[in-house]
A and B are shown apart, each in its own frame.
Chain A
Amino acid sequence: MKRTFGIALAVLLLAGVVTAIVLGRGTGDEPARLTTVRGVIGSEKLAFFADQRVKDVFARNGLKVEVDPAGSRQIATAVELDRYDFAFPSSAPAAERIQRDRKAARTYAPFSSPMVIATFDPIVELLTKAGVVRQGSGYQVFDVQKYLELAAAGTRWDQLPGNTAYPARKNLLVTTTDPRDSNSAAMYLAITSFVANGGVVTTPDAEAKVLPAVSKLFLDQGFTQSSSEGPFEDYLSAGMGKSPLVLVYEAQFVDRVVRADATIRPDMKLLYPAPTVLSKHTLVPLKETGDKVGQLLSTDPELGRLAATFGFRTSDPKHFNEIVRDKQVAVPQTIVDVVEPPAHETLERMLEAIAKQY
C-alpha cells in the first residue's frame, strides 16, 4: 500500500515536472505558433536573414524563416526547388528563369545593389589621367568603353604614361570572381557585353561578336575566386598591390561602412561603372507562405530599414538614403546609366562559351 502510494506520488510529481516544462516553453517564446518557411537564397543575403532583428520581425508576423545559401545561378538551374517555399536569387535573370520554370504568378524585388568597382585614391588619380575615370554627377564614373579599349590592347599598369604610383608589371584588369560559378561575374559580363555590343545582347550574332573581347577580361585574370567575398576580403586586407580594381556589390562596401569595423580606410574609393547593372535581389514565391515573405520584405518598413543597414538599396529609397545620411557613406542617391542584363539564356550561353576557353 505504501509502496503503491510512493509510485503514484512519483508519477504525479513527474507529471508535474513535465507539465511545468511544457507550460514553461509554451508561455516563453511560443515556437508552436510560428509557421516555418524555407527559402534558398543568394549568399549575399545570408547575414541579413541571420540577423536577430530580422528574425524578430518575421516572428511578429508569425513566420520563422529558414534559409540555405546557394549561388544565384545554381538556384536557377541546379537546386531542387520543391523543398523550398521561396527562391531569392541575387539577379533578375536568374529569377526570371525560375519564375518561368515554376510558373510563379509574381515576383518581388525588395532590394537591389549596383555593381561597383572598389579601388584606392592613387589608382583613381592614375585612371583619371588615362581617361578611364571621370567625375560624374556626385560620384566618380568608371568608363567601361575606355577600359575595354585598354584591355583589348593588353595594357599593363606599368605602361600607363607617368605612372609612378602603381607601376605593376601586370595587366590592367578589374578583378572579378569566376565566371564559371559566380553571380557577380555574370553581372560583370552583363555590363561589358552591353558596351562591347553597343546595347543589350539579344541575338546569337551579337553573342559571337562580343565574346572574344569579353572572354579576355576573364581569361587574362587567370585564377579567380568562386565567391564575391574572396576578392572583397583581399581588397580590404591585402590592399592595392593585390587588387587595385575589384568588382563588388555596392552593398558589400556600404555594409562595412555601416558596421564601422575600421576595415574601410579613407583612401578606399568606389567607382560606378558607366553603364552599370543592378543586382536585383528578386524573390520568387514557390508556395503561399513564400509569398508572405515577399510581401513583408517589400512592405514592412522595419525590414526595409534593416536591409538598408546591410547596404542594400531598398525599393522605397527612403531607407537607404537615411542610412547613407546617418552613417555618412560616400555613395550617390541615384545612379544614372543603369542598363538591363541580357535574358537568362543569353547570359548563360555566353558564360558557358567563356568557361570552355579555360
Chain B
Amino acid sequence: MIRRLGPLVLAAALVAGCSDSADPAKPVGDAEPGVLRVLAGSELADLQPVLDEAARATGVSVKFSYTGTIEGADSVARGAAESGFDAVWFSSNRYLELVPDAAKRLGTPTKIMSSPVVLGLPAAKVRELGWDGKRVGWADIAAAAGQRKFTYGMTDPSASNSGFSALVGVASALSGSGSALDAAKISAVSPQLKEFFSAQTLSAGSSGWLSEAFQRRARGEDPGAKVDGLINYESVLLSLNASLPEPLTLVYPSDGVVTADYPLTLLNSAGSPAREAHQKLSDHLRGPEVQQRIMETTRRRPAVPQVQLGPEFAVRDLVELPFPGSQSAVDGLVTTYFDQLRRPSRTLYVLDVSGSMAGDRIEGLRQAVTGLTGADDTLSGKFSRFHGREQVTLLPFNSAPQSATEFVIPADDPAPELARIKTLAGGLVDGGGTAIYASLQEGYAVLRKQSASDPDRFTSIVLMTDGDNTEGQDFDDFRSFHEGLPAAERGIPIFPVLFGESTVDEMEQVARMSGGKVFDARSRSLSAAFKEIRGYQ
C-alpha cells in the first residue's frame, strides 16, 4: 500500500512543480523530491530530449535556468545560486574552481560529455590556405588571420565559454612555453594575438546566436558581410554542417585545444533528496546506451570510454592545452583581450529620454549606463565595462536627436574618461516627445563621420526606447532609409532594447533588417539588458 503511494505522490509533486515560483532567487521554484534545479549554460538546452527520457527512466526531472559562465560563477560565489538551485551545469567548472568563494560551494562533479573548441572554415578556404591534410597550429591560424586571409566569428569570452576557451587556447598555444599562462607570457605574445583577433568580424554573447547569425549571413538573409568561418564547439560546428549548403571543414589545431567537459555538479548546500536525484541522474546519463544517444543527439563526445566515437569525430586524440591555474591569470587574460587584443569597438547608444521616461525609468537608464563605467563590481560587471580603446557615443533623444557625445576609452588609464561618461549619464533628464527613427537616422550620420577617419572598428548600435514613435520619420520611412544605405552601414547591427511600452513588432523588424538582436528589459532591469548586449558589441 505504502509502496504504491510513492509514484502518486511523485506525480503530484511534478504537476505542482510546473508552475514557476515568483521569487526571483528561485526561478525554477522550491526544492522538491524528484526534481533537480540546475543553474546551467544555455547550450545545455539541446540535451532536453535525453533529459526527458532520463526523467521517464529515473523519475528525476531537471529544471534549467540559463546563465553565462562568468555570471553563473558570480552567482555561485555570492551564495545566491544556493538559494534557488541544487546543482550547476556549465560547459566547464574550470573558472568556477578558480574563484575560491565559488569552489568551496561545489560538491561532486560528474562529467557527462565533452566538446573541444575548434575552427570551422569552408573547404575551399582550407584548400586556398594550403591546409588540406596538413598539421595546422594556432600560430599558422594567427598568421593567416593577421593577413586577413579569412574572417571568423567567435563569442565574447566574458559571456560565453566557447569564446573564453578559444582565447585561452590561442594564448596558451602562441606563448609556446607549454606551461600555463601568466601575465608576462600574455604580454609576450600580444602582437600575435592581435593579429589573430583582427580577423574576427562577428561577436555574440552566446554560441547559439553566433551560429544562427553566421547562417543568416551565409544565406544573405542578414545585411552584414559574410563571415568565412566560426570558432565554436566541435558539436555546434558539426550540427551546423547538417544545415549549411557548403559544410565547414573542422580545423583541429595541432598544438592543442581547450575542451568543454560539462560536469553536472551538485552544490554542497543541496539537501539529501537532491543528492539522491543527482546521483540517480548522473548514473543514468553515464550509462553506455545513454552516452551513445547523447553523442548522436548533441554531437558531443561521450564521457565514458566504453562508447566508440562516431565517424564524424575526425580527430580522436586531441592534445589538451594547459589552462591557467589562478583566477588572476584568467581575469588578466580576459581584461587584456578587451583592452588591448580584440578589434576595438565603436558603440553608439541611441537613448530615449522623452517625458514617458520620467521617474524610475530615467533612473534605470542612468544606472544602466553608469553600470558600464565600472560601477558594477560583480565578476561579470567587471568585464562588461566599456573597454580600453573603445569608442562610445551617447545620443540621447526626445522630440528630436540631442547632441551626440563621443568618448574614447584609453587602454592604460580609463578612469577619467569613464568618469565623464558617468557624469553625462547621471545628468540625463526626461521630457518631450519620442522621435525614434529621426534619431536613429542621425546616429548613422554620426557613425559615418567617425568611420571616415577610423574605419576598422567593430561597430553596432543600441536603441533604447520605452514607447511609440511620436515625432519625425516613422518606421516605414526608416525602412526605406535603411534599404538605401551603403552595404557597410546596412550591415551595422542594431540591438533594440524592449522597455516600457516599446513597439515589439517594429523593434523586432529593426533588429532583423540590420542583423541585430532584440533584448528584453521589460521583466528585468535595463542594467541587465545593457550588460547582456556587451557580449555582442
Chain A residues in contact with chain B, CB under 8 A? 154, 156-157, 168-171, 173, 218-226, 230, 233-234, 236-243, 261-263, 265, 358
Contacts and interface: CB of A to CB of B under 8 A. Distances in A.
B431 to A, nearest CB: 53
Contact of A171 (B97, B178, B302): B178
Contacts of B181: 222
Contacts of A223: 94, 97-98, 180, 322-325
Contact of A238 (B97, B103, B114): B114
Contact of A237 (B103, B109, B305, B319): B305
B256 A221 contact: no
Contact of A154 (B109, B179, B317): B179
A154 to B, nearest CB: 7
B176 interface: yes
Nearest to B321: A170
Nearest to A166: B319
Contact of A242 (B97, B306, B319, B324): B319
A298 B261 CA distance: 40
Contacts of B303: 233, 237
Interface string B269-312: 00000000000000000000000000000000011111000000
Contact of B325 (A156, A157, A226, A358): A358
B497 interface: no
B325 A171 contact: no
Interface string B62-95: 0000000000000000000000000000000010
Name which of A219, A223, A224, A240 has the most chain B CB atoms within 10 A of its CB.
A223
Given A169-B178, A230-B109, A238-B114, 8 more contacts: A154-B177, A168-B255, A221-B322, A226-B97, A237-B303, A238-B320, A261-B306, A262-B306
Name which of A169, A218, A234 has the most chain B CB atoms within 10 A of its CB.
A169
B180 A219 contact: yes
A243 B114 CA distance: 15
Contacts of A222: 179-181, 322-325
Interface of B: 94, 97-98, 103, 109, 111, 114, 137, 173, 176-181, 254-256, 259, 261, 302-306, 316-326
A172 to B, nearest CB: 8
A170 B256 contact: yes
B316 A239 contact: yes
Contacts of B318: 238, 241-242
Given A220-B180, A223-B325, A265-B305, A242 B98 contact: no
A218 B306 CA distance: 31
A263 B304 contact: yes
15 contacts: A156-B178, A168-B256, A170-B179, A170-B321, A171-B179, A221-B180, A223-B324, A224-B325, A226-B103, A230-B111, A237-B111, A237-B114, A238-B259, A239-B317, A358-B325
B63 to A, nearest CB: 27
Contacts of B305: 236-237, 262-263, 265
Instruction: Tell me if A's interface is mostly helix, strand, loop or mixed.
Output: loop
A233 B114 CA distance: 12
A357 to B, nearest CB: 9
B320 A358 contact: no
A242 B176 CA distance: 17
Contacts of B324: 222-223
Contacts of A221: 179-180, 322, 325
A147 B18 CA distance: 58
Contacts of A168: 255-256, 319
B160 to A, nearest CB: 19
Nearest to A265: B305
A237 B304 contact: yes
A224 B320 CA distance: 13
Contacts of B103: 226
Contacts of B137: 169
Contacts of A234: 261
Contacts of A170: 178-179, 255-256, 319, 321-322
B255 A169 contact: yes
Name which of B178, B180, B320, B324 has the most chain A CB atoms within 10 A of its CB.
B178
Contacts of A226: 97, 103
A156 B172 CA distance: 13
B237 to A, nearest CB: 19
Name which of A168, A219, A220, A265 has the most chain B CB atoms within 10 A of its CB.
A168
Contacts of A156: 178
A143 to B, nearest CB: 21
B352 to A, nearest CB: 45
A169 B259 contact: no
A301 B254 CA distance: 52
A300 B326 CA distance: 46
A225 B256 CA distance: 19
Given A170-B178, A222-B324, A223-B324, A241 B319 contact: yes
A241 B320 CA distance: 6
A239 B176 CA distance: 22
Nearest to B135: A167
A263 B178 contact: no
- In the A-B complex, the 10 residue pairs with the closest CB atoms: A222-B180, A220-B179, A223-B323, A241-B317, A242-B320, A169-B255, A222-B322, A171-B178, A170-B178, A156-B178
B173 A169 contact: yes
A330 to B, nearest CB: 18
Contacts of A220: 179-180, 322
Contacts of A239: 316-317
A233 B111 contact: yes
Given A223-B98, A262-B306, A171 B320 contact: no
B105 to A, nearest CB: 13
A219 B180 CA distance: 7
A237 B302 contact: yes
A240 B315 CA distance: 13
B395 to A, nearest CB: 43
A221 B179 CA distance: 6
